[in-house]
Amino acid sequence: MGVYTVQLPKRIVFGDVVEEKIGAEAKGLGAEKAFIVTDGTIEKAGLLKKVEKPLKEVVEVDIFDNVESEPTLEVAETIVKAARAARYDLVVGVGGGSVLDMAKVAAAAASNPEQGASDFLGANKIVNPSVPTILIPTTAGTGAEATPFALIIVEGKKKAIASPYNLADVVLISPSFTATMPPEVTASTGMDALSHAIEAFISLGANPLTDSFALEAIRKIADNLEEAVSHGDNLDARLKMSIAAMLAGMAFGNAGVIAGHAAAHTFGARYKIPHGVAAALALPYMMEYNAKEPAVKERLAKVAREMGEDVSRLTEEEAASKAISRVKNLLEALKLPTRLADLDVPAGDLPDLAEALVKEKGYLARNPRKIEQKDAEEIIARMWNGE
């Protein structure tokens, strides 16, 4: 037994039309002037209005509605500047992972006038505690509402701002907010959440508490993702997917993600593949590679059981294979790409991708099976061929 630390958001409010509670939550945080961070799609979907109106009844509100998906350092610097236009004492993020990450950056900027976005990059670089945040996810996938990370593209590579100050003061989860997602986005973001849960569960950084979060997330996703994709208006399935994505965020926010996300980051940023699609594609290959480790085999057998497979008569090896084939079947049922060749990744780029994967040292340090250059070449070739 070891000693473990787990850090989580302070307060989670979820259920029917919880957006109407935002005024009370803002008051509870003692706010007077709020800065809403969002993007154009949220405004068009009519979600911004639902937050802005009750918030304006209690505090002054300014809005930044121009967050780009997969934000670069330049985008982050623009948000840093905007967050200092007035003395904001509350930042509200309404959107997908990119928006919530930029809300974290805005909250850090508001209380750290000496630091720019680039100064925040790395671990524990934010000097003063951020101003309070209320994060409202509109996808069920990234888990950004529950993690201490904000991801930014720097020179074509995904870099993290990791700080406990990034953890939300309040998370508001309204199932009707994720119901505006089209089926393909529900599918890819849901599989991103599954990859967070499975990677966190077999990560070397896992602990008994993150395991509980991860296994419950896996079970909920296996039970509800297909329903949320095929019947987007099923708010019960939507809420369960939101809870699963948040639990997966709580798992990987503490245990970390591993080689699957390392690979997804290398080809996701380069070919502008949506993060969920990239992470979902990488997932079964990452499981297969790590399953050679006995401890991982045992864990994957548990994943299979959590996904509803009857593993009582199977060996550990067979049960672990079941988990992998179940994930592959899910990808196919959701019509998500299963090989890089189908995403027009040129075969000539594979050596570069393998080299980039080996350089993702932070992720690979937590990966249970070591990945050398030749292993990376083999993994990337498999992802390309679909073997």
**Chain position carrying tokens 């930042």:** 91
- Which is closer to Fe ion, CB of 151 or CB of 311? 151
Give least dist CB 261 to Fe ion, A: 6
- With CB under 5 A as the contact rule, the residue among 206, 279, 296, 324 that binds Fe ion is 279
* Distance linking the first and last C-alpha atoms of the chain: 38
250 C-beta neighbours (distance < 10 Å), count:
29
Task: Classify residue 182 by burial, with Cβ atoms within 10 Å: 0-12, 13-18, 19+.
Answer: exposed
Residues 320-339 that bind Fe ion (CB under 5 A): none
22's enclosing H/E stretch is helix 22-28
282 lines the binding site for Fe ion (CB under 5 A): no
Which CB sits closer to Fe ion, 196 or 219? 196
248 binds Fe ion (CB under 5 A): no
Q: How many Å apart are CA 260 and CA 288, to the nearest integer?
A: 11
Tell me the window of 102-110, 271-279, 284-292, 375-383 that interacts with Fe ion (CB under 5 A).
271-279
CB of 265 to Fe ion, least distance (A): 9
Interface mask (CB under 5 A) for Fe ion, residues 188-217, using x and -?
A: ----x-------------------------
Could you tell me which stretch among 15-23, 29-37, 272-280, 376-384 binds Fe ion (CB under 5 A)? 272-280
DSSP labels, 333-384: HTT---SGGGGT--GGGHHHHHHHHHT-HHHHHT-SS---HHHHHHHHHHHH
Choose among 278, 259, 292, 275: nearest CA to 371: 259
Question: Which is closer to Fe ion, CB of 36 or CB of 193?
Answer: 193
Nearer to Fe ion, 82 or 197 (CB): 197
- Cβ-based nearer residue to Fe ion, 31 or 330: 330
Residues of this chain that bind Fe ion (CB under 5 A): 192, 279
